[in-house]
Each structure stands twice: as structure tokens, then as C-alpha cells.
């Protein structure tokens, strides 16, 4: 298992060891003890999975207060651009975003710490997106950012006219008008 960091504090890219032969492949997608050896001690309590088609954009979402969530995200099949925005007011990277291509082929995972708005867009014809959460969902603690906020300047790669976005996500606030994360 290879783990790397990036410019946003607390974000880790995890590349599992994949063992393949003429039968297919095997990989350990999660090991609490191996991550703990590296200082990652989240106690994941829920697994979620979503199927989407090309152009579906989900996000940017987060949970606030005691309901804030860290996530371990990956793609089982297909490819997505996974994006996070740091909404932790005391963070030195507050307001910055980071994106990575996750796919069933590259098998990369991203550990998204609490205090990040998170979303993704499906780049392939279809995708199965899976993630672990270290806290349950709470509707009253829900927060979000508008995916096409001109302040954030996120390049979602695809033509915006092809995006499929929920009614809820098109009315999320822009950065600066968003709900405080209160970690």
C-alpha cells in the first residue's frame, strides 16, 4: 500500500497493492491496522455506493459540527474526477480545491478529512463510486457549495452543457456564503 499527501492538509492518496494474473486480480481495499500504522485512525461506520452515468455531477457536499464526516472514496468501475474544497476556516488551505481522477483501473483512493466539501463528476459512460464515512448523515448538519462557483474555478473537465446535476445541488451557496463547518 502506497500513501502520498498533497497540498491540502489531511488529504491522502492511497494506492493499494494489486495482485493480478490470468484469473483477474486481488487487492486489499481497506486495512484499518495498516492505515493506523501510518497515523490514519478514522473509525469508519458506514459504507455507501452510487451508480451514475456520464456527466452526472454530485456535490459539493459536507456535514457540519459533530456530524462532520471524513470519507475514504474510490471507484469500483468507470472513472470520475473527484474534487474536494477545504472549508475549514482555520486551515492554511481554506478555499483551495484539489481534484484527482479515480477509476476502477487505477484503483486509487482518497482519504477526505472532515472539513472538506466533496463532489465528483462521472467521466466514463457509467461509474460505480464507493466510500466509507466515519460518521452518519444528518440532514440538519448538511452543507454545500455550488459546483460552478466562479470564485473556486474548478475545472470539471467535461462540457458544462452535458452536466446532470440535482435540483438541490444547483441552488447551493457560493464560497463565502456557505454554512460554517464548525469542527
Is 111:100 a contact under the CB 8 Å cutoff?
no
- Give φ, ψ of 143 to 5 degrees: -135, 170
How many whole angstroms separate alpha carbon 85 and alpha carbon 62? 10
Residue 20 exposed, middle or buried by CB count within 10 Å (0-12, 13-18, 19+): exposed
Give catalytic residues, as residue numbers.
61, 131
Is 87:149 a contact under the CB 8 Å cutoff?
no
How many whole angstroms separate alpha carbon 170 and alpha carbon 8? 26
Amino acid at each position: 500500500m502506497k500513501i502520498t499527501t498533497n497540498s491540502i492538509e489531511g488529504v491522502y492518496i492511497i494506492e493499494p497493492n494489486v495482485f493480478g494474473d490470468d484469473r483477474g486480480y486481488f487487492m486489499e481495499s481497506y486495512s484499518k491496522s495498516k492505515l493506523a500504522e501510518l497515523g490514519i485512525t478514522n473509525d469508519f461506520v458506514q459504507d455507501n455506493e452510487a451508480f451514475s452515468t456520464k456527466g452526472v455531477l454530485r456535490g459539493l457536499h459536507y456535514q457540519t459540527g459533530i456530524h462532520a464526516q471524513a470519507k475514504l472514496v474510490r471507484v469500483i468501475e468507470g472513472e470520475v474526477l473527484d474534487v474536494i474544497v477545504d472549508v475549514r476556516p482555520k486551515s492554511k488551505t481554506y478555499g483551495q480545491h484539489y481534484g484527482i481522477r479515480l477509476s476502477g483501473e487505477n484503483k486509487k483512493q482518497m482519504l477526505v478529512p472532515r472539513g472538506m466539501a466533496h463532489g465528483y463528476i462521472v467521466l466514463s459512460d457509467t461509474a460505480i463510486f464507493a466510500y466509507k464515512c466515519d460518521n452518519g448523515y444528518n440532514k440538519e448538519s448538511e452543507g454545500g457549495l455550488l459546483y460552478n462557483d466562479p470564485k473556486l474555478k474548478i475545472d470539471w473537465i467535461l462540457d458544462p452543457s452535458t452536466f446532470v446535476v440535482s435540483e438541490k445541488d444547483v441552488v447551493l451557496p457560493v464560497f463565502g456564503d456557505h454554512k460554517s463547518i464548525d469542527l
